[in-house]
Amino acid sequence: MKTVLTIAGSDCSGGAGIQADIKTITMHYCYAMSVITALTAQNTTGVYGIEQTSDEFIANQLDCVFTDIFPDAVKIGMVYGNNSAKVIADKLSFYKAKNIVTDPVMVSTSGSRLISEQGLENLKKYLLPISALATPNVPEAEILSGINIKNLQDMQNAAKIISDKYGCAVLCKGGHLEDCSDDLLYFDGEFYTYPSVRIDNPNTHGTGCTLSSAIASNLAKGFEIPQAVENAKAYVTRAIGVKLDLGKGRGPLMHNYILQNFK
Ligand SMILES: Nc1ncnc2c1ncn2[C@@H]1O[C@H](COP(=O)(O)OP(=O)(O)O)[C@@H](O)[C@H]1O
Ligand SMILES: Cc1ncc(COP(=O)(O)OP(=O)(O)O)c(N)n1
């Protein structure tokens, strides 16, 4: 049994964060573990409160996981606190964690900040350099690279800038582009494009969380990054395409419908 750890925030409505990650990892027939960095009170209409986990308690959770069941891959999502990224990076380095996928979550689609300014500086300084892969969406890639992104060429430029700066592979996600949802990977000096038509579905809460945990699950199973991304993209595309419609706002994805196809 392959094991995957998610280090992220809890979404009580089950669409994003830890809950989306555990569903995704489980659907990939991997064993899911979690280190919770923050509690959020949120639903499909927005984020209504955030409670940060203390640095000591994040460290305590990481010790409990790594001294007992060593994860084959680690996904990092919402890292809210000023020093959380450093605490996490120190522990991951100490335990020699492998296959680290960092989704540099900054702002929810509903507009709430999910990381502090200092937290973001520490994510850049400590977490990205130890990651195998970072998975920014377009606004996050603009912040990390310092350039505007309107098309695939801009995504290529941004991914290379981020990769050169932080030393990790970069998947720039296209969910925020105007007419398509193509994703772009820069890995080992090469560009890979993952084309997809835009699915007409407003219910995309947790797509980024789902994609990054699906990539981590595929890395845990032994796939190389380009193939892991291809498999994960197929998973998230299917989960959006089911068009589950729950809640009063931007609803979550459907995971269990696709049980048969991702053994
Ligand atoms: N409407 C859509 N149709 C098809 N794919 C989508 C759609 N929205 C998002 N995606 C895909 O979901 C994944 C997450 O992308 P994105 O929404 O940009 O990330 P985030 O949730 O971090 O903002 C990407 O693979 C993206 O291409
Ligand atoms: C607890 C928590 N973590 C991450 C997010 C952001 O989720 P993501 O899939 O990146 O995007 P949106 O769902 O905000 O579009 C979150 N909302 N909560």
Q: Which of 15, 175, 208, 251 is catalytic?
A: 208
Q: Whose alpha carbon is nearest atom 4 of ligand 2? A: 17
- Using left for φ > 0, alpha for ψ between -120 and 50, and beta otherwise, residue 258 falls in alpha
Measured by CA distance, the residue closest to atom 9 of ligand 2 is 206
53, 173, 210, 251: which one is catalytic? 173
pLDDT number for residue 197: 87
Find all residues with CB under 8 Å of 71, minimum gap 6, and list them.
3, 4, 5, 33, 65, 97, 220
Domain boundaries, the chain: 3-261
Which atom of ligand 2 is least distant from the CA of 38?
Answer: 1
Whether ipTM tops 0.90, in short, is yes
**CA geometry: angle at 26 spanning 9 and 4, to 5°?**
65
> Could you tell me if the CB of 209 is within 6 A of ligand 1?
no
Determine whether 208 is an active site residue. Answer: yes
Indicate the top mutation candidate among 50, 109, 176, 183 to test ligand 2's pocket, ranked by most ligand atoms within 8 A of CB: 109
Q: pLDDT of the chain along its 263 residues, tens only?
A: 999 999 999 999 999 999 999 999 999 999 999 999 999 999 999 999 999 999 999 999 999 999 999 999 999 999 999 999 999 999 999 999 999 999 999 999 888 999 999 999 999 999 999 999 999 999 999 999 999 999 999 999 999 999 999 999 999 999 888 877 899 999 999 999 999 889 999 999 999 999 999 999 999 999 999 999 999 999 999 999 999 999 999 999 999 865 545 44
Question: Is any ligand 1 atom within 6 A of the Cβ of residue 10?
Answer: no
Predicted pLDDT at 35:
98
CA 113 to ligand 1 centroid distance, Å: 19
pLDDT of residue 178: 80
Do 78 and 42 contact (CB within 8 A), yes or no?
Answer: no
Q: How far is CA 12 from CA 47, 116, 156, 257, in A?
A: 10, 21, 35, 21
Cβ(77) to ligand 2 under 6 A?
yes
With a CB cutoff of 8 Å and minimum separation 6, the contacts of 183 are: 171, 172, 173, 174, 193, 194, 196, 229, 233
Is the beta carbon of 207 within 6 A of some atom in ligand 2? yes
CA-nearest residue for atom 17, ligand 1, is 175
CATH topology of domain 3-261: UDP-N-acetylmuramoyl-L-alanine:D-glutamate ligase (3.40.1190)
The ligand that comes nearest to the alpha carbon of residue 202 is 1
Say if ligand 1 is within 6 A of residue 196 CB: yes
The confidence score (pLDDT) of residue 181 equals 82
Q: Which two tokens stand for residue 196?
A: 């997809």
Active site (annotated) includes residue 109 = no
Packing angle of the helix pair 207-220, 17-27 (nearest 10 deg): 40
234 lines ligand 1 (CB under 6 A): no
